[in-house]
């Protein structure tokens, strides 16, 4: 069985990985990091989004063996035990979470957005978030949370 | 009672911290060692005889534990019961697996339990199922034709039930009416499509000889009742646990075939059996919703007073009764918020070879709102009246409430016209018609559409449900217990699926016990250790739950005051519980902490003479009445009259859900429901091919759910009329946002295209459907 060495949330790990495993299996079944969710397994919903070397990646599609040597950030690596990350805090304050199944993927996506565009336009925000379905919260509250986290004033009609 | 300190406060949600950190535990996160994994073979045809199943080669595959086929399931189980059958329905015998005949694409036919899902799926490939395809029906009209294929021997003509509701003298009013309009409307088949699919883990607990079932469900207790019945077990020997549920929307009510299959396999193998639905299965196995065809007529007198409504509609049930049953609220809410005394509503529930129908947020109410409000606009146009004026004239006034509508529902309270006016002023309706004219001269087609609704929330008593044949009550229940540290634990059978119940229940309990919501721990969703519960659906949990919390907390508070009175040597009647203390109302310096009182109850000392130890209460509350929310949506669109393309420019909803327990949660519920309402109105439709009977677009790629890039900002406004008939004046709020969307947008498009005389009569509203309607109108000249 191939062995994959990678850094997950700043920790170096070695995992035995069956050849057909995807990255989400490596994270969930190999490392017990259950925060990354699978909503479709076909690359459509964005629930499984993680960062691989800083890039947004659908963990349900990425092959686990390809993650050898990569730096992966999952929801468990955002925020600390003591405090939520400002993105997470903005989600709480704006009521942007309901069932929470899409939330880890959305928080990771927002992190990638703000890493790349510290001052995103509304267009950037919608563009980035358009790969993540949320079925509960109706997007506007999520957009408000992201704007707030980005320090962007909410667009008013 | 004094004002409750946490009632109406936007307390941060208790659920959020774990969900944001990835520490929420959903079904797939429940760890089971040595679990077997389940794969289900499903019928690839819409209708087929299963002649023979040969699983020999699959059983030889290494890693395969066992195979289950329909014959075994049918022999060992009872059919799935229907929680809320349409009165008078013929049964459609629905088992956990098809035996003999399968009736929809996706119906389970065979199942494999194996060491992992890959092996189980490989084994399915090795199973030979000999199918004989049978003729199928995909539309309700086809199902009703003489000579149509019959789905169930128990249902002659494919009509599960046919019945009529009549009030007043509809025939006479129709004859009297100066103006009548009619229309035939097709409502699309859609899916609630939660981001977490369904899933189940079944485990036989050897030590207690009981079955444990972890399930992604919004009704743990009802699922247990139905599952135990199917398995011929006692409820006491079945435990159902709902972990965090990743969205439900009505689709996760009651027992599903896969629950039964997993349970049987766990019993047989004595190992945990796990099944996580994949998306392909989801679109072919989880309940579909909404599909119906209505032929509606309404009439008014010359002045525009609404006189009469007549509807003949067909509900497309799919191939079986699902665990809940078809919507009853379509008929009950057809009259909407108008002064109407005469109506005839004729409905037939019809079988087709499609996935069984289930509930979806706004069940039945979204359907009837759409057909009525679209036709109301046509009637106003025919009368030469402004649609706003027509509604102003016919909306029930506050002084006419309570009002019993033509179907027997009693609207409790509200100011319907105020909601309409507020929404209209927000869009600038006063001046809109002038602006619209100017735009038209520039060749721009901008329209405003409105849609008024009144919404049934909660059930009017268990006795009412019982009389109409339901197999559940209207109540909710809680157990509340103080621990020695002075914190409360609240146990509820309601599961957590996004609705924020952990927070709102904690707010209610904290308010009544003199605590902070952080000091109320919530245990939820486990049938063991929670009192009988109905569950989270029908916008009923907050109403019924608040009543139960009020009773249980009241008992505990009274006992705390007695104990405190004993400790302080003060008459308990002079005491109050607030901010963690029990103190004298007139002299707050005389006080003792709730922690100390709780400790006394725990130690059994010091207590007043004759007082039992413990601070714990279980209470049930059965609401005597439903409460009716209401609101108005005003939508503004601009349409390209050549291509039919259009932009939804503004979406305004003014609504009233009575007392708001947590305004931030209310806002979220409304935002989410509006998004789903617009999604079903503009984007989503499950399409079946009439020739092949196959679902054409059963993937997330082809089923167009909106993303953050697809929806406008919604403009929401709240009115607050406390209900006179519910605890604390609470009305349900989870569903209302879905109800009025389709009609408001349809009316806006038709308003924009009024010079062309365009009528739209099907959902979803798309550029293509508008283009076709334009072409049709042009052809008519
Ligand atoms: S689970 Fe990976 S995109 Fe949906
Ligand atoms: S919060 Fe439920 S899917 Fe987004």
Domain range annotation of chain B? 16-23+475-621, 32-134+194-248+252-285, 292-460+624-780
- Is the confidence at residue A156, as pLDDT, over 80? no
- Is the confidence at residue A157, as pLDDT, over 80? no
What confidence tens digit (pLDDT) does each residue in B255-303 have? 999 999 999 999 999 999 999 999 999 999 999 999 999 999 999 999 9
- Is the confidence at residue A155, as pLDDT, over 60? no
- Same fold across B16-23+475-621 and B32-134+194-248+252-285: no
Chain A residue numbers with beta carbons less than 8 Å from the beta carbon of B700 are 40, 42, 44-45, 133
User: What's phi and psi for B619, nearest 5 deg?
Assistant: -140, 150
Chain A residue numbers with beta carbons less than 8 Å from the beta carbon of B28 are 28, 34, 37-38
What confidence tens digit (pLDDT) does each residue in B172-214 have? 999 999 999 999 999 999 999 999 999 999 999 999 999 999 9
- Is the confidence at residue A94, as pLDDT, over 80? yes
- CA dist B368 and B391 (Å) reads 17
State the pLDDT at residue B718.
Answer: 95
**Does A92 contact B701 at a Cβ distance shorter than 8 Å?**
no
- All domains of chain A, ordered by start, with CATH? 3-77 (3.10.20.30), 86-150 (1.10.150.120)
State the pLDDT at residue B780.
Answer: 83
User: Residue holding tokens 């339990």?
Assistant: B113
Average pLDDT over residues A105-121: 95
- CA dist B44 and B644 (Å) reads 37
Nearest Cα to B363, choosing from B567, B192, B217? B192
Considering every ligand atom, which ligand is closest to the CA of A106? 2
Ligand 2 contact, A102 CB (< 6 A): yes
Ligand 1 contact, A62 CB (< 6 A): no
Facing residue for A103 by CB, picked from B20, B29, B245:
B20
**Does A95 contact B664 at a Cβ distance shorter than 8 Å?**
yes
Considering every ligand atom, which ligand is closest to the CA of B26? 2
**Does A44 contact B249 at a Cβ distance shorter than 8 Å?**
no
Average pLDDT over residues A56-75: 98
**CB neighbours of residue B599 within 10 Å:** 17
State the pLDDT at residue A151.
Answer: 85
Confidence class for position A152, pLDDT limits 50, 70, 90: low
Ligand 2 contact, B668 CB (< 6 A): no
Facing residue for A135 by CB, picked from B17, B194, B244:
B194
What confidence tens digit (pLDDT) does each residue in B535-573 have? 999 999 999 999 999 999 999 999 999 999 999 999 999
Confirm or reject contact between A107 and chain B (CB < 8 A).
Answer: yes
State the pLDDT at residue B1.
Answer: 47
**Does B676 contact A135 at a Cβ distance shorter than 8 Å?**
yes
Confidence class for position A153, pLDDT limits 50, 70, 90: very low
Facing residue for B708 by CB, picked from A33, A88, A139:
A139
Facing residue for B708 by CB, picked from A34, A42, A126:
A126
Sign for the CA dihedral angle at A135, A136, A138, A142 comes to: negative
Closest-CA distance, A1 to chain B, in angstroms, reads: 17
Please determine, for the modelled complex, whether the ipTM score is greater than 0.90: yes
User: Residue holding tokens 């569903």?
Assistant: B735
- The CA–CA distances, whole Å, from B237 to B256, B491, B576, B623, B705 equal 19, 20, 43, 30, 40
User: Which residues are within 8 A (CB) of B40 and not within 5 positions of it... i.e. 6 or more apart?
Assistant: B108, B110, B111, B124, B258, B261, B275, B281
Q: Fold for domain B16-23+475-621?
A: Aldehyde Oxidoreductase; domain 4 (3.30.365)
**Cα torsion through B380, B383, B386, B388, rounded to 10:** -40
State the pLDDT at residue B33.
Answer: 85
% of chain A residues with pLDDT over 90: 93
Strands B342-351, B159-167: pairing kind: antiparallel
- CA dist B366 and B360 (Å) reads 9
The 3-state DSSP class for residue B520 equals strand
Confirm or reject contact between A110 and chain B (CB < 8 A).
Answer: no
What confidence tens digit (pLDDT) does each residue in B342-392 have? 999 999 999 999 999 999 999 999 999 999 999 999 999 999 999 999 999
Kind and range of the H or E run holding B115:
none
- Indicate the average pLDDT of chain B: 97
Q: Fold for domain B292-460+624-780?
A: Aldehyde Oxidoreductase; domain 4 (3.30.365)
CATH entry 3.90.1170.50 includes domain B32-134+194-248+252-285: yes
Q: Which residues of chain B have pLDDT under 50?
A: 1
């Amino acid at each position: 069985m191939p062995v994959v060495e990678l850094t997950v949330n700043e920790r170096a790990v070695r995992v035995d990985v069956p050849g057909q495993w995807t990255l989400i299996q490596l994270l969930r079944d190999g490392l017990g990091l259950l925060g990354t969710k699978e909503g479709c397994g076909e690359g459509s919903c964005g629930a499984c989004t993680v960062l691989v070397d800083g890039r947004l990646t659908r963990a349900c599609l990425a092959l686990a063996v390809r993650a050898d040597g990569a730096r992966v950030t999952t929801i468990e690596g955002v925020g600390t035990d003591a405090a939520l990350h400002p993105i997470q805090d903005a989600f709480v304050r704006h009521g942007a979470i309901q069932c929470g199944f899409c939330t880890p993927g959305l928080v990771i996506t927002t992190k990638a957005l703000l890493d790349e565009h510290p001052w995103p336009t509304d267009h950037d925000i919608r563009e980035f978030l358009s790969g993540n379905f949320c079925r509960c919260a109706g997007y506007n509250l999520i957009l408000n949370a992201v704007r707030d986290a980005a320090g962007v004033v909410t667009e008013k009609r | 009672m004094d004002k409750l300190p946490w009632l109406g406060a936007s307390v941060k949600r208790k659920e959020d911290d774990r969900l944001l950190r990835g520490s929420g535990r959903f079904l797939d996160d429940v760890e089971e060692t040595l679990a077997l994994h389940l794969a289900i073979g499903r019928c690839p045809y819409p209708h087929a005889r299963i002649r023979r199943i040969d699983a020999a080669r699959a059983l030889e595959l290494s890693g395969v534990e066992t195979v289950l086929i329909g014959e075994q399931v049918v022999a060992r189980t009872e059919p799935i019961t229907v929680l809320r059958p349409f009165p008078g329905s013929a049964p459609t015998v629905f088992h956990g697996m098809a035996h003999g005949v399968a009736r929809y694409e996706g119906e389970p036919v065979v199942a494999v339990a194996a060491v992992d899902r890959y092996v189980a799926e490989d084994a399915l490939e090795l199973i030979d199922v000999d199918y004989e395809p049978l003729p199928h029906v995909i539309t309700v009209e086809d199902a009703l034709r003489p000579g149509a294929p019959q789905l169930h021997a128990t249902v002659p003509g494919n009509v599960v039930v046919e019945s009529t509701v009549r009030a007043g003298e509809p025939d006479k009013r129709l004859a009297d009416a100066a103006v009548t309009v009619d229309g035939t409307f097709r409502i699309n088949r859609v899916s609630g499509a939660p981001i977490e699919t369904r899933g189940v883990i079944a485990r036989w607990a050897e030590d207690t000889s009981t079955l444990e079932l972890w399930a992604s469900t919004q009704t743990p207790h009802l699922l247990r009742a139905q599952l135990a019945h199917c398995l011929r077990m006692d409820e006491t020997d079945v435990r159902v646990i709902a972990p965090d549920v990743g969205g439900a929307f009505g689709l996760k009510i009651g027992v599903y075939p896969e629950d039964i299959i997993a349970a049987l396999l766990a019993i047989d193998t004595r190992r945990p059996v796990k099944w996580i639905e994949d998306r392909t299965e989801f679109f072919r196995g989880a309940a579909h919703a909404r599909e119906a065809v209505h032929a509606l007529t309404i009439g008014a007198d010359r002045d525009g007073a609404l006189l009469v409504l007549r509807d003949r509609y067909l509900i497309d049930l799919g191939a079986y009764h699902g665990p809940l049953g078809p919507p009853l609220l379509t008929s009950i809410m057809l009259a909407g918020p108008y002064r109407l005394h005469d109506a005839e509503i004729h409905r037939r529930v019809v079988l087709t070879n499609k996935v069984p129908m289930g509930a979806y947020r706004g069940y039945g109410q979204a359907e009837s709102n759409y057909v009525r409000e679209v036709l109301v606009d046509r009637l106003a146009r025919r009368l030469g009246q402004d649609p706003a004026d027509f509604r102003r004239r016919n909306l029930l006034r506050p002084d006419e409430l309570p009002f019993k509508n033509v179907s027997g529902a009693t609207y409790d309270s509200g100011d319907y016209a105020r909601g309409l006016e507020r929404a209209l002023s927000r869009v600038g309706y006063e001046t809109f018609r002038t602006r619209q004219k100017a735009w038209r001269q520039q060749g721009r087609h901008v329209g405003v559409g409105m849609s008024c609704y009144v919404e049934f929330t909660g059930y009017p008593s268990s006795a009412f449900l019982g009389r109409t044949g339901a197999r559940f009550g209207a109540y909710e229940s809680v157990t509340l217990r103080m621990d020695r540290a002075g914190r409360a634990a609240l146990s509820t059978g309601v599961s957590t699926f996004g609705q924020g119940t952990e927070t709102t229940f904690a707010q209610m309990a904290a308010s009544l016990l003199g605590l902070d919501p952080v000091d109320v721990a919530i245990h939820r969703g486990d049938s063991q250790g929670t009192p009988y519960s109905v569950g989270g659906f029908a916008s009923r949990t907050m109403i019924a739950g608040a009543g139960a919390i009020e009773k249980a907390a009241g008992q505990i508070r009274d006992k705390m005051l007695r104990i405190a009175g004993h400790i302080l040597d003060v008459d308990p009647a002079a005491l109050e519980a607030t901010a963690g203390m029990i103190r004298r109302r007139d002299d707050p310096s005389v006080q003792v902490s709730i922690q100390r009182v709780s400790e006394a109850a725990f130690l059994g000392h010091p207590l007043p003479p004759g007082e039992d130890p413990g601070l714990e209460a279980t209470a049930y509350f059965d609401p005597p009445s439903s409460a009716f929310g209401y609101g108005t949506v005003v939508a503004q669109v601009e349409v390209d009259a050549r291509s039919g393309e259009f932009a939804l420019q503004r979406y305004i909803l003014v609504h009233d859900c009575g007392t708001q327990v947590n305004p931030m949660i209310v806002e979220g519920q409304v935002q989410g429901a509006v998004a789903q309402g617009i999604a079903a109105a503009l984007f989503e439709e499950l399409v079946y091919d009439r020739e092949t009977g196959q679902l054409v677009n059963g993937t997330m790629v082809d089923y167009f759910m909106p993303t953050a890039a697809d929806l406008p900002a919604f403009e929401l406004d709240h009115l607050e009329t406390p209900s006179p008939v519910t605890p604390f004046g609470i009305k349900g709020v989870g569903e209302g946002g879905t109800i009025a969307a389709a009609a408001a947008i349809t009316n806006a498009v038709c308003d924009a295209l009024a010079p062309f005389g365009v009528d739209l009569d099907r959902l979803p509203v798309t550029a293509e459907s508008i283009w076709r309607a334009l072409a049709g109108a042009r052809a008519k000249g």
